[in-house]
Amino acid sequence: INSADADIVLAATPCDLGGLIKINKPLVRVRYEFEEVGDPKLSDLIREFLRGRNLV
């Protein structure tokens, strides 16, 4: 993150990223909502990704 060529960091994690690591750029916490629309579903894509790497 600190090496990235960026003006700010958007943090959309449930944890306080700024409390966990030192970031040398302004950190802005953001929220988002996700809604499945059509196929393939995100869970199917993740499952396929993990299976392809023998992780499930």
Domain encompassing residue 27: 1-32
Indicate whether 20 belongs to any domain: yes
The CB-based long-range contact list for 30-37 (8 Å cut-off, 24+ gap) reads none
Amino acid symbol at 28: V
Shortest CA distance to 11 belongs to which of 25, 33, 27, 26? 27
Would you write out the chain's pLDDT as a tens digit for each of its 56 residues?
999 999 999 999 999 999 999 999 999 999 999 999 999 999 999 999 999 999 98
Indicate whether 54 belongs to any domain: no
Q: What's the confidence (pLDDT) of residue 56?
A: 87
Indicate whether 56 belongs to any domain: no
